[in-house]
Amino acid sequence: MRLQWVETGTSSDEAFQKGLVDLWPLMADLPERRKRIHMTQPWLRSNYVLLFRAAPVPPDRKFTGKIAVFRMPVHVRLVRARFPEARIVQLDETKDILNRVCRGTVSAAFLAARVAETALREKPAECASVGLRVQVLPDMIFQGAVGSTFAAAGAAEAIRREIGGLFRDGTLGFLMAKYSYYGLENDWATLDLMQAAEHARWMAWGIGGLGVVLALTLWRVSSLRQRKRAEAAMREIEDRFRRMSDAAPVMIWVSGTDKLCTFVNKGWLAFTGRTFDEELGSGWTASLHPDDLNHSFAIYSSSFDARRNFQMEYRLRRRDGEYRWVLDSGIPRFTEDGAFAGYVGSCIDITDLRRTREEALARQKLESLGVLAGGIAHDFNNLLGGILAEAELVEDGLPAGSSVVEEIGRIKNVAIRGAEIVRELMIYAGHDQNHLVEPLDLSELVEDMLELLKVSISKHAVLKTDLAQNLPSVWGNAAQIRQVVMNLLINASEAIGEKEGMINVTTDHVTGERDLAPDSTTDLSEGEYVRLEISDTGCGMTEEAKAKIFDPFFTTKFAGRGWGLRSSRGSSAHTGAPSIW
């Protein structure tokens, strides 16, 4: 093998990135490097330590002071990861680092263990009176290996085997003890040398076979214990996660690398009313609304393939059968070595939030419509006022008994009716706070309306009336009641359609619950009421339509034909008079 030494003047990472080298004999073995560089089995191992004055408290992760390090990218990276808020001072010489610690211009120094020991043995005179302390960082270990490009991996492994042979014959151990500050401590190759020497000694004594059997037995026992400890630790972690997730006020799920569900918490099971086994795999989709299944899976699958966070909304069936809107948030999860392990996510019920948002939007629309209706009503009211004034002037100029007087009277009646409708529009828009409430005979009012509406109902519908006479007067607004009767009759007529049917209009006088039908669910307190009932033999309403009859602007008719919900209460109760029911 022919090797050429190159003085790069850069770090090992930069040298590989720029293509300056194919091999690096001693390089820190880090998980992120293995993604772009081939690393052999480590052949050198050493701890990292902190060197600081004896008096101060050892730094922790929240330490914000200065830490001196060698001007090496890997050292800077390790210190930044361990002490993210510290200020890093990069120096080229060990003595400069030690002087900075002794003078107190830095709070600590980050060094390899053997470098720190050498520095303490050879510390300069100005540090003689300063008490220094070494803190070992057991979870930060330098493991040196041969690094190479993937194309030169064979050469790297050959060099690593030669290093192992040099350790076994003692050559490399002698050289390192003499020239290297790392020494032989905590070294993987040293372990190989010790095992080889022990094996040779046992072979010399003639009982090598027993040593092999004993070593295998110990190894198996140790492996079994380690495996049991690992399994116990894993069970403890899983149990802790289950307790935490079950206590969370949200629904939590976990999936594996195959996109299938592997866990749901008790909150999820309480919501859907299903068992844990039923939800595993793709079983949880049984509670997903069919209309949301394809869209939700497309979002989940694309995010899964891209390993990115996602949020999506869909309807999930609750244990009582109601579909509720939920917000599902998922994030990818990874193992300690960076391998993708699936997703973990949480769901919250946002049905009430969506309803509140839709109601707020509807209120805004209603307010805008009210402003528009108020403006139109004012203008139209002025036109009606002019018509009434002109009609009265014409009427005053006609001789008594003229046939034109009756025609002028009909014009005035129509204008007055229009004025009442305009007043209703102004009340709806909030521009008229004094809408008229007066004593009314409900039967007479309805009878007058029916004469006008007979021509508006379907020719296939038979209008049947049963209007009680001499009803007690009720306090109400005539225009509003006319509007209610008109809406109900037109809706009844359209419900009958092209088939033969009947529309019944009934008024009567009832007292409390005494005169109600036996199957009535109406809950009326004691007192007198006047009842107006309009029924038809038409097609009726579906359950879905019934659930929305009080929604603003809801209609089952085509665009431009729906009446929607009116902001009207009909009539109100008044002392001494019955109420309309």
pLDDT at 53: 82
Nearest residue to 378 (alpha-carbon basis) of 414, 436, 429? 429
Backbone phi and psi for residue 438, each to the nearest 5 degrees, phi listed first? -145, 165
Provide mean pLDDT across the span 161-186: 68
Question: Which domains are delineated in the chain?
Answer: 12-205 (3.40.190.10), 241-349 (3.30.450.20), 436-581 (3.30.565.10)
pLDDT at 331: 92
In whole angstroms, give the CA distance from residue 214 to residue 444.
113
**pLDDT confidence bin for 302, thresholds 50/70/90:** very high
In whole angstroms, give the CA distance from residue 34 to residue 434.
83
pLDDT at 463 over 70: yes
pLDDT at 433: 47
Task: Classify residue 472 as exposed, middle or buried by CB count within 10 Å of its CB (0-12, 13-18, 19+).
Answer: middle
Global pTM reads 0.34
Which tens digit of pLDDT belongs to each residue from 464-484? 999 999 899 998 888 778 878
* Distance between start and end Cα atoms, the chain: 105
Structure tokens at 232: 């116990």
535 and 503 in contact (C-beta within 8 Å)?
yes
pLDDT at 68: 92
What's the mean per-residue pLDDT of the chain?
79
3-state secondary structure 253-278: EEECCCCCEEEECHHHHHHHCCCHHH
147 and 156 in contact (C-beta within 8 Å)?
yes
Which tens digit of pLDDT belongs to each residue from 391-436? 888 888 777 767 787 788 888 888 887 777 777 666 655 555 455 6
In whole angstroms, give the CA distance from residue 71 to residue 11.
10
CB-CB neighbours of 525 under 10 Å: 7
**Pure H helices in 112-250:** 113-121, 153-168, 171-179, 188-205, 208-247
In whole angstroms, give the CA distance from residue 428 to residue 446.
23
548 and 554 in contact (C-beta within 8 Å)?
yes
- Residues 6 or more apart whose CB falls under 8 angstroms from that of 27 comprise 12, 33, 37, 39, 144, 145, 146, 147
49 and 73 in contact (C-beta within 8 Å)?
no
245 and 265 in contact (C-beta within 8 Å)?
yes
pLDDT at 151 over 90: yes
Written as one string, the DSSP assignment of 406-426 is: HHHHHHHHHHHHHHHHHHHHH
Q: One-letter amino acid identity for 483?
A: Q
CB-CB neighbours of 163 under 10 Å: 20
**pLDDT confidence bin for 55, thresholds 50/70/90:** low
pLDDT at 342: 92
Which tens digit of pLDDT belongs to each residue from 507-547? 999 886 544 544 555 555 667 889 999 999 988 888 888 88
Which tens digit of pLDDT belongs to each residue from 205-241? 655 556 566 777 777 777 777 777 777 766 776 677 6
CB-CB neighbours of 129 under 10 Å: 7
